[in-house]
Structure 1
């Protein structure tokens, strides 16, 4: 035992990283384990950190993000995010600065006089960026100071352990020893270069203490068995981590288990290597799963790269889209949003290619919506103009709604309604209001007119009855052959003096009247054809006098009569000319008689037509 103790002391002084226990086993495995814990933990945090696509963030979103980062104490995560978002934010700021410079020089300024101050988002971003750097520097400074302080504390504990291990006073030594162990465990990390030496000396002094405390051998073995049980439990927990689906959670818990394993005291020497190999095997299984996950992740990222690169090419067609129709813009919006959904479903990209592909996709995406916003801004301006036009129409309708000039106002309101239809849409928030005002004004007038028309319809129904009575009188005289020209003039005057009838009955009563007049004239006793024609014409002229379109209708009738006169005159001239050719004909007398009859009838008809024309001119 003395020889083994001497070896430990020599190793502590000359080769502190290769400490030998009293059973001849080195502590290299447990020391390496502590280092490996730190390396695995750091490597894992770098590799499985969840990636977020910041390429389409706005300045305001970046400003909010960095304010949150300024409150986060996880500086490793904060540094990773800052490395990604700082260039993106600087790109946006550089573009804005270039646009401001271009605007400044376009206004007559010079580049030397240009001073770009940025906006509130820039101030927030820069202030929080500086705050993070200051906090980070302060944090790591405090960490280093704390590590130096921890080193001093652990060295003091090592010195106490040396004194305790060499002490001959065995009373309360084990309690003091366990107290020192708890204090050692409670102290945090130390500077890296001293860590292995500290651990080596610490375990060497633990072994020296147990070796020197033969009186407490049984208690030592009991403590080591408890430590063994605890380490076996840690092995079981580590082995279960191989079944955890979320790799990140498994690695985090495994790092915690490594920390506990490292700080547990020694185990029986015959079990030491076995329990370590078991724990190491469980850890390696998790790390292997992590490595496989990362390998698959890289393959997935490559597949994602192909998919998103294709979508980046596909979205380029939207850059030059233009239309003056809302429906087409909305259709294109649905299409590009569908591309966005497909983009978001795909997932992350390899970091080396992410910025390029994201920029290509989101630049086209942003350009499309900028163009769409410009279109709708112009549309909104047009709708504001339309609103003014419709308000003007509402004002005119309100001015007309109390009018009693039914016909004129009705036409004017219908004209306003047509103009209303011709005016384009107005802003959505005013559409119902302005339409209601216009409709209410129109409805008010037409409701008043309908009330008035109810009275008119009653009068027209009575007029229809009166005109039917006149027709009945004409028909009765015609049937009894008691009609005279005076009676006809009297009934005709009575018929024309009666007002309007319902529109649906106009044609029917007019047809009945004309047929009754014709029967009446034909039934007058002893009347000649010439007299019938004259009476008929006079009757027609009397009707025309009360017709609103009398002038045009008289002109048309005059033209018809003149055409008939011209035709009859031509026929008479032709027949007279033909009589000269019948002189040498065998049947000349017969043909002459026929033509003379025709000439005589045509002359009579011509005379009637000229009398009709003369009568027409008196109207």
Structure 2
């Protein structure tokens, strides 16, 4: 005895209170992170403002000192200082402009699922590029929250549909939510730690620069400063290698540094010649950078060329001043090389936009294809599954299509995924209706279980046996029940039937003699089948029918005689394959399959499954025939309609033949 496999949706369990507390804690942590991030950004903006202000003050201060110079040589020295600082400032401003307008473009995360977003934030949480990490988080956090909110709403709707109260609902995080939150927190912690360390480093830099200022004062105040010239150069190099200092001290520190250097240079006229030599070396170094920048315009990898160019700008800015006559031509050459790279980047972005527009058109076409799926409806699981496979194939096509323009990404992704989710919402409603039907089947089988239990202790052997057999037939006719009750309800029914038939065997000792006679009769049939002439299918069927009509055998011999019978039929098939038609061979093979099932464990259960499969196929074919016949009524009289009618008539004829064959198979199964 058994029943068919079925599918059902298990009701969701209520979420525990600790998940609510966890979400509250996460919210508090996120609030603290936002505050810390705002503080860090304010510090960075203040630093940048101070640097720019220092550069402007530096130019003005040097210009004033230049006007006050009395001699031609001093004026020339001061002019070179102004040019040096202006060149550094221009390079720095140019570099900042480049950084602002050539930020790395991020991927389009709008079509990423939860697992992909978790992998993205996992990579970000281990990155040291916190500025880029913040940009990525600003992109993916709202997307992840949107997915989570949708899941939460779906869970709440199901919770309310199952009879729950909204106040009792608590959303339980799955593994992906926990991993996303953990990596999000890790990134914020590392970022906060980074900026704390940066502040600490700035304090240390302040101390180092103050120490350099003290050394400069000592050198400037010395009577003989010629011996300190190399030391001054070393201190300048050391000063350049030291990073940023706290914003409030930056301007004063920079002014003191330049004032001490000016005092030193003013005291020694030999500085001019040394500075000229230094400027020539700087010229050679910057010419090399120009060559490198010009070579970048030939690179195929445009984004990589832009990145390398930014590095060259950084190096160009820190090399130092060049001779005045070479300053403008040099800068124009370096700028021209930079403009060539940026022009290529512009073309690259224009081409990328064209590709994105093409992708947009492709994705719009994919969305149009989904229209039929929104109105699809059926009462058959097979058809729903077929449509699901088609839709998943469309999803793969969508995901393989590249990025679209950023301004269209959100709307078009929303359109696609809304349609996608709507189809599965319709499918979910279908299975809800299916679950309702299975609940009805469960109630029907419970009635049969109660009646079987009432009969299990009866001693009216023949009458009760006939009644239980009818109950078993009714059981087979009832459809599937919810999956979680399938085994338990079947075991209850089978236990009641087994109890009666066990008692019947134990209470009828006279039947043992009949069982032994039945065993001998079945053994004789098995022996006759082994001697049967190849291809004599009619005699085989007669033996099989006779074998099935023979009553019970001793319990200890049930399995053995079934196995012998199965082996005998299999042997007949092997020697008769060349002498039977396909239909005959299929019929014999079915019998062999059934006898093999009978000889194995869980025979009743497997036979019921086989019977159900045949019945379902017959039902599907009958439904198809009804549909085809209905369609025939709508065809008008025409040559095209006649051809279609012939096609439908042929389909109906073939289906009826298959039904006839399946009914024969069903009779064979039920006879077993």
* Cα distance in 2 between the residues matched to 1:106 and 1:13: 67
Asked if 1:16 corresponds to 2:72, the answer is no
User: Match for residue 3 of structure 1?
Assistant: none
Describe the SS at the equivalent of 1:24: helix
Deviation at 1:159, TM superposition (A): 5.2
The within-5 A match list for 1:211-222 is 212-215=267-270, 218-222=273-277
Shift of the 233–372 alpha-carbon distance from structure 1 to 2, 3 Å rule, reads farther
* Cα distance in 2 between the residues matched to 1:114 and 1:332: 31
Asked if 1:52 corresponds to 2:108, the answer is yes
Q: Deviations over 1:63-84 (max 9, x none)?
A: 3432332212211222222122
Asked if 1:411 corresponds to 2:453, the answer is no
* Cα distance in 1 between the residues matched to 2:171 and 2:149: 10
- Of 180, 186, 198, the match for 1:125: 180
* Cα distance in 2 between the residues matched to 1:364 and 1:350: 21
User: Match for residue 35 of structure 1?
Assistant: 93
User: Match for residue 445 of structure 1?
Assistant: 572
* Cα distance in 2 between the residues matched to 1:273 and 1:194: 33
The within-5 A match list for 1:94-243 is 94-158=149-213, 160-161=215-216, 163-165=218-220, 167-190=222-245, 209-210=264-265, 212-215=267-270, 218-243=273-298
* Cα distance in 2 between the residues matched to 1:24 and 1:85: 52
Asked if 1:272 corresponds to 2:399, the answer is no
* Cα distance in 1 between the residues matched to 2:250 and 2:543: 96
Describe the SS at the equivalent of 1:348: coil
Structure 1 length normalisation: TM-score? 0.54
The within-5 A match list for 1:518-533 is none
Cα contact 1:315–1:339 (8 A) shared by 2: no
Q: Report the count of equivalent residues.
A: 402
Cα contact 1:12–1:201 (8 A) shared by 2: no
Shift of the 15–223 alpha-carbon distance from structure 1 to 2, 3 Å rule, reads closer
* Cα distance in 2 between the residues matched to 1:135 and 1:49: 23
User: Match for residue 483 of structure 1?
Assistant: none
User: Match for residue 313 of structure 1?
Assistant: 368
* Cα distance in 2 between the residues matched to 1:268 and 1:410: 112
Cα contact 2:117–2:144 (8 A) shared by 1: yes
* Cα distance in 2 between the residues matched to 1:318 and 1:400: 61
* Cα distance in 2 between the residues matched to 1:248 and 1:238: 14
Shift of the 163–243 alpha-carbon distance from structure 1 to 2, 3 Å rule, reads farther
* Cα distance in 2 between the residues matched to 1:325 and 1:83: 42
Q: Deviations over 1:231-290 (max 9, x none)?
A: 110111112222223232122111211111121133223322322232223223323333
Higher RCO (C-alpha 8 Å, min separation 6): 2
Deviation at 1:13, TM superposition (A): 12
Deviation at 1:214, TM superposition (A): 3.7
The within-5 A match list for 1:316-395 is 316-321=371-376, 333=389, 337=393, 340-341=396-397, 344-345=400-401, 347-365=402-420
Q: Deviations over 1:556-584 (max 9, x none)?
A: xxxxxxxxxxxxxxxxxxxxxxxxxxxxx
* Cα distance in 2 between the residues matched to 1:133 and 1:188: 24
User: Match for residue 575 of structure 1?
Assistant: none
Asked if 1:246 corresponds to 2:288, the answer is no
* Cα distance in 1 between the residues matched to 2:131 and 2:55: 37
Shift of the 313–142 alpha-carbon distance from structure 1 to 2, 3 Å rule, reads farther
* Cα distance in 1 between the residues matched to 2:387 and 2:154: 32
- Of 96, 107, 120, the match for 1:65: 120
Cα contact 1:41–1:251 (8 A) shared by 2: no
* Cα distance in 2 between the residues matched to 1:375 and 1:441: 47
Deviation at 1:332, TM superposition (A): 8.2
Q: Deviations over 1:548-607 (max 9, x none)?
A: xxxxxxxxxxxxxxxxxxxxxxxxxxxxxxxxxxxxxxxxxxxxxxxxxxxxxxxxxxxx
Cα contact 2:54–2:251 (8 A) shared by 1: no
User: Match for residue 130 of structure 2?
Assistant: 75
Shift of the 277–150 alpha-carbon distance from structure 1 to 2, 3 Å rule, reads farther
Q: Deviations over 1:197-237 (max 9, x none)?
A: 76677667656655544446554433322211001101111
Cα contact 2:110–2:410 (8 A) shared by 1: no
Describe the SS at the equivalent of 1:243: coil
For structure 2, the residue ranges without an aligned partner over 5 or more in a row are 1-52, 67-76, 435-478, 488-521, 546-563, 578-672
* Cα distance in 2 between the residues matched to 1:165 and 1:303: 68
Q: Deviations over 1:147-194 (max 9, x none)?
A: 354345335435544553564424542321232122122212345687
The within-5 A match list for 1:486-501 is none
* Cα distance in 1 between the residues matched to 2:331 and 2:258: 16
- RMSD, aligned α-carbons: 4.7
Q: Deviations over 1:416-450 (max 9, x none)?
A: xxxxxxxxxxxxxxxxxxxxx99977432345789
Structure 2 length normalisation: TM-score? 0.50
